[in-house]
Amino acid sequence: MFSTRSTRSSRRRPTAGLALTAALALTATACGDDGSGSGGDKGAEGSGTGRITFWDNNGGVRTDIWKEIIADFEKKNPDIKVKYVSIPAESVQSKYDTAIQGGGLPDVGGVGAAMLAGIAAQGALEPLDKRLDGGPLAEKLSSSMVENVRAAGGGKELFTVPTSANNGTLWYRTDLFEAAGLDAPTTWPKFYEAAEKLTDKDDNKFGYTIRGGEGSIAQALDATYGQSGIASFWDGDKTTVNDPKNVEALEKYVALYKKSTPSADVNNDFKKMVAQWDSGDIGMLSHNLGSYQDHLKALGEGKFRGLPNPTTATGTRVQLSNPVDGLGLFKSSKKKAAAWKFIEYAASHEANSKWNESAGAIPSNTEAAKDKWVQDSEPTRLAAEALNDGDVKIVQLPYYLPDWNTISKADNEPNFQKVLLGRMSAKDFLDTLAEQLNEAQAEWKKRQQ
Amino acid sequence: MITKDAEAPTVTSAPRTVLEAFGPRRPKKRQRSWDEVPRRQIYLPLGVYLVFTLIPFYWIALFALRPAGSTSLVPWPVTFEHFDKVWTERSFGTYFQNSVLIGVATLVMTTVVALAGGYALARFDFRLKRGFMLALLCSQFVPGALLLVPLFEIFANLEMINSLGSVIIAETVFQLPLSMILIGNFIKNVPPSLEEAAWVDGCSRFRAFCVVVLPLLRPGLIAVGSFAFVHSWNHFLFALMFLSDQGKQTIPVGLNTLMSADSVDLGALAAGGIVAAVPVVIVFAFIQKWLITGFSAGAVKG
């Protein structure tokens, strides 16, 4: 065995060299951070100028339109520069959570209602009521969207300025419906009739594609409440999800699996679902307005339509609230004045209209919602009308519960797959969901007191 | 069991073993050599396996090469619009450069440090060596996500957030334990007497290592280096968390941005996937011989 000790200087040289190289590498790569802080920092107003950082919570596909809006903003505010950071939608929650704990939060960030409760609960967002009241956006934002994000943030303070809303949409192939002599699926009975008639398993044709994988719960609940006609998520302190009417509705809905849908649907997330609808012979798809451009590219104009969710046989439309997207100002920002200017511009008529037209979503700015493109884009117009129609009943999902994301995803998506596969009854599934929701609601109420 | 009968007049007439007592041995079946196996018995299962493996790749190529909206099962007419889109509009050119830089730097740093550490593990005895080896092995069971916040804080204190260096260091640190163990096993296979002979001829320890040991470690270095490169090339989490500047992002993060919350550009995603896969495939095609030798040689000695 070799000696572990050596006094020869030549033997020390490699070690010293290695240490020096490592030190130089560390020094050379130390390029500085972005100057922003963690969740606990109080930040500062700043001079209303300088460079701010903006995290786009739905980066990539919307990058181009954001860059255009930022260029317009910088032209109007030459003293402010906006650094755009695109965050993949699937990872934005963990990116925010890490930055809240470790530092590096942006000045402005896109925060959807579904994750707002968690971020607001960590004290990372600045309350915006006072800024909003005194500014040009005061009377120009959709009151229902403002209330939606206020409720999602805990109900007391406003933590994001809403920018857009989505809506559950039933996309259907007009060419297939016409060929089969079917009416548009405006009611649930018509929906089930079309799902059955358009299915020809031997020819690999199906009436509907169901979402069995990631994101399945919201879609299943939308169909459940839509059929049962129950218009409220809560009955006192207890949820209505396991109401016998809902159980019956869900049983009918999941019975479509394999009968009128591909069997692979049990693993469908929205990507697979949209891809298979765009490239196959499937009659209907439940998604939201966001996939409009994908359908247009794949199927071409005139071959499909998007309607708000079907009504009951008596004409009542009940649908779930969709998460409203918004922009939040982070407490740790040291340039809050400049950051707020950017938020105001992004929610202005001009910028809000531009962004929503690109996404096919419903603008939060009431002036933008009256623009010509909204009238020309049928799915968006119908969705906006449905949301603003006093007769439509919106079931508000409890986005304010910090456990909502866990309950509606990790805890219950596998159970919904069991229901599809016949290994769990719809009643057991809804009872389990109800138990968890009631518990989370009770805990939330206790914390509020 | 051998049975011997002392009283027997001739030993050869008695059965020598229990097996012999049951009669003559059946002739041993001669094993067929590979040349004698019918070709179809080799190629048919291989062909089936190959088709099964290649279908997803064909699907990716199909989406990448056919026009948007086409439902054709063959990529015709061929279009490169998706490649053009990801490379220019979606900045994959920049992401590619960053991924190469991070991959090569991780490869170099991992290999150099693992050589030094592996040499120490193979050639020196020191207190708590077994504990140290155990700690190296145990570190492999810690998921990267668990260390995200502490690492983030460390890099933030070092003012390294949003620098490629943070990702390179994090990747290197995560690659090192396994690399050190692998390289250490390779070095153990090189007889110490070779180095001692070089010392006798006047070489220093470092020179003896460079001249005598290093050339014999080529398969191991290629195995460890390629493993480090491919791992950092594909790794998503550190780049996403430690880098926020668009111009510093890597290919895996870029691929993720092609999927939004409610929309996905499948053509661009497939083209991006090919851009991400091609360098790795090329690297593996060239080094596969050494790679297999390296991993198998490093695995036999603990």
Under 8 Å CB pairs connecting chains A and B tally to 167
Confidence of residue A9 (pLDDT cuts 50, 70, 90): very low
A56 and A62 Cβ atoms separated by less than 8 Å:
yes
- pLDDT for B18 equals 55
Are residues A222 and A289 located together in one domain of the fold? yes
Q: Comparing A26 with A381, which gets the higher pLDDT? A: A381
**φ, ψ (nearest 5 deg) of residue A431:** -65, -45
Assess whether the previous peptide bond of B77 is cis (omega < 30° from 0).
Answer: yes
- Closest listed residue to residue A28, CA positions, set B115, B168, B99: B168
Confidence of residue B7 (pLDDT cuts 50, 70, 90): very low
Task: Tell me which amino acid residue A292 is.
Answer: Y
Torsion angle of C-alpha atoms B141, B143, B148, B150, degrees rounded to 10: -20
CA B233-B237-B238 angle, 5° bins: 75
Contact A103 B156 (CB under 8 A): yes
pLDDT tens-digit series, residues A349-396: 999 999 999 988 999 999 999 999 999 888 999 888 887 777 888 898
How far is the alpha carbon of A133 from chain B, nearest alpha carbon, in Å? 31
A402 and A327 Cβ atoms separated by less than 8 Å:
no
Residue A94 belongs to domain with CATH number: 3.40.190.10
Are residues A55 and A157 located together in one domain of the fold? yes
- pLDDT for A165 equals 92
- pLDDT for A227 equals 96
Contact B116 A14 (CB under 8 A): yes
CATH superfamily of B83-299: MetI-like (1.10.3720.10)
Are residues A192 and A295 located together in one domain of the fold? yes
pLDDT tens-digit series, residues B126-155: 888 889 999 988 888 888 788 888 899 899
What is the total count of domains within chain A? Answer: 2
- pLDDT for A139 equals 87
Interface test with A, best of B91, B187, B263, B266 (most A CBs within 10 A): B263
- pLDDT for B27 equals 65
Contact A86 B169 (CB under 8 A): no
DSSP string across A100-156: HHHS---SEEEEEHHHHHHHHHTT-B---HHHHHTSTTTTTB-HHHHHHHHHHTTSS
pLDDT at A291 over 60: yes
Domain end point (choices A365, A392, A419): A392
pLDDT at A36 over 60: no
Are residues A190 and A288 located together in one domain of the fold? yes
Interface test with B, best of A34, A91, A291, A301 (most B CBs within 10 A): A91
Confidence of residue B28 (pLDDT cuts 50, 70, 90): low
Q: What Å distances lie between residue A348 and A376, A388, A403, CA to CA?
A: 21, 20, 33
Are residues A363 and A443 located together in one domain of the fold? no
Chain B contact set for A297 (CB, 8 A): 68-69
- State ipTM: 0.73
Instruction: Indicate the domain borders of chain B.
Output: 47-81, 83-299
In a domain, A305, yes or no: yes
B260 and A61 Cβ atoms separated by less than 8 Å:
yes
Contact A34 B124 (CB under 8 A): no
For the segment A178-192, the average pLDDT, to the nearest whole number, is: 96
Contact B204 A11 (CB under 8 A): yes
Are residues A342 and A305 located together in one domain of the fold? no
Which structure tokens are listed for B135? 């700690």
Across the interface, of A8, A95, A293, the residue whose CB is closest to B263 is: A293
Chain A contact set for B246 (CB, 8 A): 84-86
- For residue A151, the enclosing domain spans 50-165+324-392
Chain A contact set for B156 (CB, 8 A): 33, 102-104
Contact A290 B71 (CB under 8 A): no
Confidence of residue B38 (pLDDT cuts 50, 70, 90): confident
Contact B123 A95 (CB under 8 A): no
pLDDT tens-digit series, residues B149-174: 889 989 988 989 889 999 999 999 99
- pLDDT for A121 equals 87
Across the interface, of A61, A83, A300, the residue whose CB is closest to B265 is: A61
A338 and A50 Cβ atoms separated by less than 8 Å:
yes
Are residues A313 and A427 located together in one domain of the fold? yes
pLDDT tens-digit series, residues B259-280: 887 788 889 999 999 999 998 8
How far is the alpha carbon of A323 from chain B, nearest alpha carbon, in Å? 11
pLDDT at A301 over 90: no
- pLDDT for B295 equals 62
In a domain, A157, yes or no: yes
On average, the pLDDT of chain B sits at 85
- Closest listed residue to residue A108, CA positions, set A345, A405, A359: A345
pLDDT tens-digit series, residues A258-275: 999 999 999 999 888 998
Are residues A188 and A249 located together in one domain of the fold? yes
- Rounded to the nearest angstrom, the gap between the alpha carbon of residue A393 and the centroid of all alpha carbons in its chain is 21
Confidence of residue B26 (pLDDT cuts 50, 70, 90): low
- Closest listed residue to residue A213, CA positions, set A291, A266, A284, A271: A266
In a domain, A160, yes or no: yes
In a domain, A5, yes or no: no
Across the interface, of B68, B245, B259, the residue whose CB is closest to A88 is: B259
Are residues A195 and A273 located together in one domain of the fold? yes
Confidence of residue A39 (pLDDT cuts 50, 70, 90): low
Are residues A242 and A360 located together in one domain of the fold? no
Global pTM value: 0.79
pLDDT at B32 over 80: no
Instruction: Report the chain B residue with the minimal C-alpha distance to residue A38.
Output: B153
pLDDT at B3 over 80: no
Q: Comparing B41 with A5, which gets the higher pLDDT? A: B41
- Rounded to the nearest angstrom, the gap between the alpha carbon of residue A144 and the centroid of all alpha carbons in its chain is 17
Q: What percent of chain A has pLDDT over 90?
A: 63
Are residues A281 and A216 located together in one domain of the fold? yes
In a domain, A33, yes or no: no
Domain end point (choices A392, A416, A434): A392
pLDDT tens-digit series, residues B66-101: 988 787 888 888 999 999 999 988 889 999 999 999
How far is the alpha carbon of A64 from chain B, nearest alpha carbon, in Å? 9
3-state DSSP helix/strand/coil percent for chain A, to nearest 5? 50, 15, 35
With 0-12 / 13-18 / 19 or more C-beta atoms within 10 angstroms meaning exposed / middle / buried, residue A127 is middle
Are residues A280 and A245 located together in one domain of the fold? yes
- pLDDT for B250 equals 95
